Structures are given as C-alpha cells and as structure tokens.
C-alpha cells in the first residue's frame, strides 16, 4: 500500500491542459455549517467564493437531527462542558481547543438568534420564554439546543443561507466539485516548507474545469461516511477534502477515529436514517429481540453512555441474541408526545408503518462522523501557508478519540468564524500570481477495474473490518486490497465525479486502515479486539503526510509548528 499511496503525485489526473480562471480573495470549499460561517466571517474583510459539491439540502448539516451543545443555563458551567468533552475524548482532546469552542459557543448562539434562527422553547405552546435544553449521551447537564425537535440542521442551514444571500461580498457556486488544491513553491512539502496554497481546480457541469485563484483557501468539506456500507451520511460524503489536502502535502491527524452512531433505522432495503440521540435523551430504552433492556449491563450511564460504548454494546447484544439488530423502545412516551417532540422521525417511521408509541424501532449502528482529518493549530491554520480547515474535515483536537454528542455543529460555528476571520492575514498581500496548470500524467497502461465494483467492495470491507470492531490480521488484509485497487484506479484519468470520488474514497479508506493498523490499543471510537486495553504509549496524536511510511506523533496541545 505504501508504494502506491505515497507516490509524489500532486494533482488527481484530469484531462485538460488549459483551464479558465476566476480570482477571489478567499475560497471556501464546502457549504455546510463550517463553510457558511467561514464565508460570512471572511466577507467582513474580503471578497469570498464558497463552493458546494451539491445543494444545501444534500449536506450533512441540513440533515443533522441533533442539536447544538452550548452552556446556556445558569445551572451549567463552562468547566462542566469542558469536563464532559474531555471525558468523551478518552485522553486525546487538546484542552485549549476545547475551551475555545465551549467559551465561544454562547456568542455564536446569540448571533444565530439575532439572524433569525428559531430554537425550541421550554413551552411548545409559546414563542416566548426560555429555550428548551435537552440532554444527550456523555453530557452531565441538559445543554443541547434544538430547532423543530429533530430538524436543527435544516433550520441552521437555512438561517445561514439567508444571511449569506444578503451579503454582496459572497458568491456561492453550487454543484461545483473541487478536484484538487493548487500550491506553489514546493507543493506543500514537509512541514509546509516553501509551500503555499493559492486556490483550487474545480469542475462544474455547465462551465467544466476551472481554476479559482485565492489568497486564502478554507477547507470545510465535511466527512467521509460514504466509505462505509452502513452510514448516516449522504452520498456526497466521500472524503474529498481530506484526500485533496493529503495530496497537496497537508498533515492529517487521528485518522483511526471514526465515530459510529448507535441508532439508525434498520429496515431491509431502506437507507440508514438517523434516529437522533435526543430520543434516548428523552428517555427511550435499548432492548434486544427478547425485550430485555441491556445497556445498564454495559455502562452506568446506560443509554446515555458515550457513542462508542453504546455501539459496541449493541453489537455484543446482537451476537449474544443471534439477531440482526436491536430496538429502541419509546412506547412509554406515547404516540402524541413522540410525534410532537420528534416530528421528522415520526414522519419517517410512518412510511414504514411504525408507530413508536405502539412498537419498538429497529436500530443498528452506522458510520456517522470523521473525528480525524486535516491537522490544524488553534486558529485553523494547516501546515501549508494560505490553507485553513474547519468543521468535520479538520482535526483541531477538540474531539480527541471520540466526539461528544452535539459538539460538531458547535465546532462548525466556532471554528468557521475563527478561520474566516484569521485568514485576513493572507489577504493583505497583492493579487495572487497564477501559474500554468498542466496535467501531464501519462495514460495508464494497466487494465481498468469496474468502478461500481470497486466502490461496493471498498465500502463493504471497510464496514466489516475497519468499522466498530477491528483486529490486526484483517486490517493487514484490507491494506493489501487497497493496494490492489489503487494500482488499477489511482492511475486512471477520469472525466466525471464518479471516477474522482472513487479515487478520493480509496485514498481516505487506505489512510483510515493504515492508522487503525498502527494504533495498537483501544481508545474512544477505535477498538482493537487484539489490543482491547488503552495504552499510555498511544496517548498521542498520530500525524500522516504524503511520502512518509510511518506517522509522526505529538502530545496533546503541541503546536502544529512542532510537527
């Protein structure tokens, strides 16, 4: 695998020698919560282009059922939220970053309210009064703000979209796929020495291939859940931002840590729709096929234990009862209460003739959130000058080895604002000098694999062997599979999204596998059956960079420059 995935190829192969050009001060890649907040902050000082791979309705943000974690009650404190985040992160959270997110959260929420976002009230029949605060797994206090019960992401996305449309310094390009970053002077060499990001190569169905030149580029491309067969993520979550950053020489961190959501709807032939953790926070129980409530046997927080613990407990109970799934029991809530509290989920369940007030909901874990990603400092800077990262694509150190529920939308808001504001440091220079972009990769002399087969096999093997439970021999086998697929796929020149996305999925899947094989311990979302204990020697961030066969390691809180 190393010889293929460390090849010093800078650009993904594409069929063009002369591209049209667009100039801007700041380019934001990704139009979820982090990208939109970054664009709004950057527009305070510069002209901005924000690109979206699809439309807003296709983003993870839009479909986020969970809320936003924030210290918003007089009985709650910053210290308590920090503590809960550190506990969930299993010893790998960078505390300064945790404090930045928790302390700046209230200001970001107040801002959203000022922009017109509607949060649920403590009294459903009143527009006045205090905001309702829910509790989710790992939180010691009720501090989760929701909108329309289980549609927080939709309300958040639409609020921010309205705010962007009112800003004439922001241009939004939807259906704009970014192939690769463009760097000059060393193309992002080790530690960023001599490398500077000056924009990206994009493809649009109407305008074709283009170069967007930018003084500052912010990666906010989200996660990579679609590399797994079972996932809550939409099909566009193929890890493109992480893959393009790696190709450009950016440092990646904590790639072994992928969070699996314990409860997604499990019905044959249906997509794995999320059943938000707030349902368990409202009092729902997990039961097995025999009707036995099993979570108290696995953790003293029962259904509100951290997600990695709940996911593994579900798999253990499935094996113990020889069944395909477990159930979420909400019958004690009653149909009316459930439908009022979770209208979106109720509507979804109705399509399958499931009344949660009368029958339990079949559920199973699915890949949900990429904890690792592009390594940044406390201000969102990467090791490449002019390149910043925020949101799920970034590894700031906030989540450690396991994300605390509802901290992700908070991170998108906080670090979106930070990166958008701080990137002004790159925008005081003169106009970016364009370079000639030529794709001179020779046509492959190897036969071509069927892309649909590669994607299907990739997603299946990631789910079986690089998922919730992992072990060394299987990880080694998966690495060999990736090496084979890569030899016949990464060298090809494609002309469409399917090919480019498959190449990105291969890159990200291989990196997750390599990191999981290296980390010989169990911690947070990463569980090795052959190394079931947490090892102090691995209480470190592992850093991956193109051209290196082994990762560097840094202690928590170490500055990015130390790498």
Q: Is 8 helix (H, G, I), strand (E, B) or coil?
A: coil
| Token reading at 280 | 């368990």
Q: Residues with Cβ < 8 Å from 110, sequence gap 6 or more?
A: none
The whole-number average pLDDT for the span 414-437 is 84
Band of pLDDT at residue 563, cut at 50, 70 and 90:
very low
The whole-number average pLDDT for the span 272-286 is 88
Q: Residues with Cβ < 8 Å from 515, sequence gap 6 or more?
A: 254, 255, 256, 372, 542, 544, 551
Cα distance between residue 427 and residue 24, in whole Å: 10
Render pLDDT for 109-147 as a digit per residue (tens, 0 to 9).
999 999 999 998 876 655 666 888 888 878 889 899 999
Band of pLDDT at residue 525, cut at 50, 70 and 90:
very high
Whether 192 shows a pLDDT value over 50: the answer reads no
Question: What pLDDT, on a 0 to 100 scale, did the predictor assign at position 74?
Answer: 87
Q: What count of other Cβ atoms lies within 10 Å of the Cβ of residue 533?
A: 8
Which fold does the domain 2-6+444-552 belong to in CATH? Methane Monooxygenase Hydroxylase; Chain G, domain 1 (1.20.58)
In contact, 61 and 412? CB cutoff 8 Å: yes
| Token reading at 206 | 């109407």
Question: What pLDDT, on a 0 to 100 scale, did the predictor assign at position 490?
Answer: 80
Cα distance between residue 131 and residue 119, in whole Å: 7
Q: What count of other Cβ atoms lies within 10 Å of the Cβ of residue 67?
A: 30
Whether 520 shows a pLDDT value over 70: the answer reads yes
Question: What pLDDT, on a 0 to 100 scale, did the predictor assign at position 307?
Answer: 82
Q: What count of other Cβ atoms lies within 10 Å of the Cβ of residue 69?
A: 29
Band of pLDDT at residue 187, cut at 50, 70 and 90:
very low
Q: What count of other Cβ atoms lies within 10 Å of the Cβ of residue 64?
A: 26
Question: What pLDDT, on a 0 to 100 scale, did the predictor assign at position 24?
Answer: 95
Band of pLDDT at residue 3, cut at 50, 70 and 90:
very low
Q: Residues with Cβ < 8 Å from 1, sequence gap 6 or more?
A: 479, 480, 482, 483, 486, 510, 513, 514
- Residues identified as active-site: 307
The whole-number average pLDDT for the span 81-101 is 95
Distances (CA, A) of 95 to 91, 320, 351: 10, 39, 44
Render pLDDT for 473-516 as a digit per residue (tens, 0 to 9).
999 999 999 999 988 888 777 888 898 999 999 999 999 999 99
Mean pLDDT of the chain: 88
Whether 188 shows a pLDDT value over 50: the answer reads no
182-209: string of b/e by CB count within 10 Å (b at 16+)? bbbeebbbbbbeebbbbbbbbbeeeeeb
In contact, 52 and 31? CB cutoff 8 Å: yes
Question: What pLDDT, on a 0 to 100 scale, did the predictor assign at position 27?
Answer: 98
The whole-number average pLDDT for the span 429-452 is 68
Band of pLDDT at residue 195, cut at 50, 70 and 90:
confident
1-13: string of b/e by CB count within 10 Å (b at 16+)? beebbeeeeebbb
In contact, 148 and 343? CB cutoff 8 Å: yes
Tell me which CATH homologous superfamily contains domain 21-257+371-426: FAD/NAD(P)-binding domain (3.50.50.60)
Render pLDDT for 228-238 as a digit per residue (tens, 0 to 9).
999 988 889 99
Q: Where in the chain is the domain with CATH 3.90.700.10?
A: 262-366
Render pLDDT for 336-352 as a digit per residue (tens, 0 to 9).
999 998 988 999 999 99
Cα distance between residue 303 and residue 307, in whole Å: 9
Render pLDDT for 359-401 as a digit per residue (tens, 0 to 9).
999 999 999 999 999 999 999 999 999 999 999 999 999 999 9
Question: What pLDDT, on a 0 to 100 scale, did the predictor assign at position 55?
Answer: 75
Render pLDDT for 143-178 as a digit per residue (tens, 0 to 9).
999 998 778 889 999 999 999 998 999 999 999 999
- The pLDDT > 70 percentage for the chain reads 88
Among the listed residues 408, 123, 82, 142, the one whose alpha carbon sits nearest the alpha carbon of residue 281: 142
Band of pLDDT at residue 241, cut at 50, 70 and 90:
very high
Render pLDDT for 29-59 as a digit per residue (tens, 0 to 9).
999 999 999 999 999 999 999 999 977 776 7
Q: Where in the chain is the domain with CATH 3.50.50.60?
A: 21-257+371-426
Whole-prediction pTM: 0.91
Whether 562 shows a pLDDT value over 50: the answer reads no
Q: Where in the chain is the domain with CATH 1.20.58.100?
A: 2-6+444-552
In contact, 184 and 435? CB cutoff 8 Å: yes
The whole-number average pLDDT for the span 297-305 is 91
Question: What pLDDT, on a 0 to 100 scale, did the predictor assign at position 438?
Answer: 60
Question: What pLDDT, on a 0 to 100 scale, did the predictor assign at position 137?
Answer: 76
- The pLDDT > 90 percentage for the chain reads 67
Question: What pLDDT, on a 0 to 100 scale, did the predictor assign at position 443?
Answer: 66
* CATH code for residues 262-366: 3.90.700.10
In contact, 101 and 95? CB cutoff 8 Å: no
């Amino acid at each position: 695998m190393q010889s293929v995935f460390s090849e010093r190829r800078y650009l993904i192969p594409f069929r063009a020698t002369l591209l049209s050009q667009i100039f801007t001060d700041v380019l934001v890649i990704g139009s979820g919560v982090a990208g939109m907040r970054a664009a709004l902050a950057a527009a305070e000082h510069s002209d901005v282009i924000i690109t979206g791979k699809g439309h807003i309705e296709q983003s993870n943000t839009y479909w986020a059922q969970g809320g936003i974690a924030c210290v918003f009650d007089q009985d709650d404190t910053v210290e308590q939220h920090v503590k809960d985040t550190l506990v969930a992160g299993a010893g790998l959270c960078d505390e300064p970053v945790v404090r930045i997110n928790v302390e700046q959260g209230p200001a970001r929420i107040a801002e959203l309210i000022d922009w017109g976002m509607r949060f649920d009230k403590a009294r459903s029949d009143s527009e006045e009064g205090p905001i309702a605060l829910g509790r989710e797994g790992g939180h010691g206090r009720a501090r989760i703000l929701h909108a329309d019960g289980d549609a927080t992401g939709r309300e958040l996305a639409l609020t921010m979209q309205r705010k962007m449309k009112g800003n004439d310094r922001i241009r939004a390009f939807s259906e704009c796929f970014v192939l690769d970053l463009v760097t000059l002077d060393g193309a992002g060499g080790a530690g960023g020495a001599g490398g500077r990001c000056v924009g990206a190569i994009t493809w649009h169905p109407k305008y074709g291939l283009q170069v967007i030149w930018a003084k500052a580029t912010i990666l906010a491309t989200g996660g990579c859940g679609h590399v797994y067969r079972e996932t809550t993520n939409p099909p566009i979550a193929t890890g493109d931002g992480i893959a393009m950053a790696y190709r450009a020489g950016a440092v990646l961190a904590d790639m072994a840590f992928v969070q699996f959501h314990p409860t997604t709807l499990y019905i044959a032939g249906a997509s794995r729709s999320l059943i938000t953790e707030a349902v368990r926070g409202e009092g729902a129980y997990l039961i097995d096929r025999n009707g036995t409530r099993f979570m108290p046997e696995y953790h003293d927080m029962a259904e509100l234990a951290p997600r990695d613990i709940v996911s593994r407990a579900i798999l253990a109970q499935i094996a113990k009862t020889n069944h395909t799934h477990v159930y979420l029991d909400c019958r004690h809530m009653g149909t009316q209460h459930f439908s009022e509290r979770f209208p979106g989920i109720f509507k979804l369940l109705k399509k399958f003739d499931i009344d949660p007030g009368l029958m339990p909901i079949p559920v199973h874990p699915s890949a949900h959130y990429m904890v690792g990603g592009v390594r940044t400092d406390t201000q969102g800077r990467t090791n490449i000058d002019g390149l910043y990262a925020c949101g799920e694509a970034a590894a700031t150190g906030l989540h450690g080895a396991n994300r605390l529920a509802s901290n992700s939308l908070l991170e998108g808001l906080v670090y979106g604002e930070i990166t958008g504001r701080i990137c002004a440091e790159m925008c005081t220079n003169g106009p970016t000098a364009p370079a000639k972009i030529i794709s001179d990769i020779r046509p492959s002399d190897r036969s071509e694999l069927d892309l649909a087969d590669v994607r299907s096999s990739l997603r299946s093997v990631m789910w079986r062997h690089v998922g919730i439970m992992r072990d060394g021999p299987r990880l080694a086998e998966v690495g060999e599979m990736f090496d084979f697929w890569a030899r016949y796929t990464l060298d090809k020149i494609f002309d469409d999204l399917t090919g480019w996305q498959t190449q990105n999925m291969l890159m990200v899947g291989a990196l997750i596998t390599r990191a999981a094989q290296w980390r010989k311990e169990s911690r947070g979302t990463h569980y090795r059956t052959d190394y079931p204990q947490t090892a102090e020697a691995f209480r470190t961030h592992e850093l991956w960079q193109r051209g290196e066969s082994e990762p560097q390691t840094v202690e928590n809180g170490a500055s990015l420059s130390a790498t």
